[in-house]
Amino acid sequence: MGCRFKIYRLLLGVGIVLANVACTSSPTQSSSQQALPNKYATGFHIIDEDTCLLLEVMEPHEQYRIAKPLNRIATSSTTQIGFLGALNALDKVVAVCNPELIYTTLPSKPIDLGDSMKPSSERALQAQLDALLVVSYGQNNPEAERLARLGVKTIYINEWREESPLARAEWVRFVGALVGKLELADSLFNCIEQRYLAEAERQTKNRGTVSVMLGNNFKGTWYMPSGNTYMGYLLHDAGANYRYAEDMRGESVPMTIEQVLNQFSEADVWIGASANSMAELADLDEKHQWFKAYKNGRVYNWRKQYRIDGANNFWERGVVHPEEILSDIVNVLDGAPDSTLHYANRLY
């Protein structure tokens, strides 16, 4: 089992001691060159330099010195809206990419920068931004570099690179440092962590009793997450019986639908289906009807908080609150009523 995975499991066991502590945290005292370390996230560092905060992103390697809070921000992904919303900082959002994908209602109508893969430089300059929050899917983002050359300050938010749910959620600290709300972010993350660890600890007695399959057939390939992925961690911590839980390759396992049928035809529950109804799922591929989970009506997607234009709060608030996603998986495994679910939605 990978080293990082072992460390996370150790923290899961130790951290439960903290679950009985009230959800509060003391302000971090700053001194010259004081590191403000993360518990889980590996993609960023925060250093208090007395007169400013030095923020470092690891991939691509970038450093930002923040001497005062950013007040005019543009976002390029819905997870950034989730972080800012959790910090009560949505009033700082003056421009966005792909507004149709944002689930949360913003305080005022932002400037539409167009597609996140190629935001409008003209509109970004007109918005007089303190920063545009961007994402890198390789080493660098060519569009971010283009905008930077034109005078638009860009800051990388790469929470998606983190493997564990708590590591992704901890990026709220990075965003909190940008908007002058690091103390609030620390307090918020401490609460999220305690609730997550407490939920995971409660599942130890029921571990492995319900088998699970995930995902969809996408253009002929079914990607089943390994144990060392975001969803792999969630399934483990929910106590699910999942075939690839101990596969630590750190990426999804590509499979044909025939392979999925061979390995998962008797799985009790199917989570993350791409359809909105059982009939639609059958129309996508008649083989879907051969799974035990389909026959027993235990199929779920992640679209309880979803709009027809594609906006989905699972990718917005859910990334900041993995304890809610974990609770959903636990309740799905337990066969709890649909009313107990935040993001998971049962197909009928």
Give the model's confidence band at 248: pLDDT under 50 very low, under 70 low, under 90 confident, else very high: confident
> Is residue 206 scored above 60 in pLDDT?
yes
Strand-pairing partners, residue 306, are: 312
Closest CA to 166 of 48, 32, 323, 49: 323
Same structural domain, 156 and 185: yes
Query: What is residue 141's predicted lDDT score, i.e. its pLDDT?
Result: 85
**What domain range includes position 144?**
26-195
Compute the average pLDDT of residues 321-326: 98
Compute the average pLDDT of residues 152-179: 97
Q: Is residue 108 part of a domain?
A: yes
Same structural domain, 89 and 221: no
Strand-pairing partners, residue 139, are: none
pLDDT, tens only, 73-105: 999 999 999 999 999 999 999 999 999 999 999
> Is residue 8 scored above 70 in pLDDT?
no
Q: What does the alpha-carbon distance between residue 282 and residue 279 come to, in Å, rounded to a whole number?
A: 5
Q: Which of 145, 178, 195 is the last residue of a domain?
A: 195
pLDDT, tens only, 50-71: 999 999 999 999 999 999 999 9
Same structural domain, 180 and 216: no
pTM of the model: 0.90
pLDDT, tens only, 137-157: 877 788 888 999 999 999 999
Cβ neighbours of residue 336 closer than 8 Å, sequence gap 6 or more: none
Q: Is residue 11 part of a domain?
A: no
As given in the structure block, the two tokens for residue 47 are: 């250093």
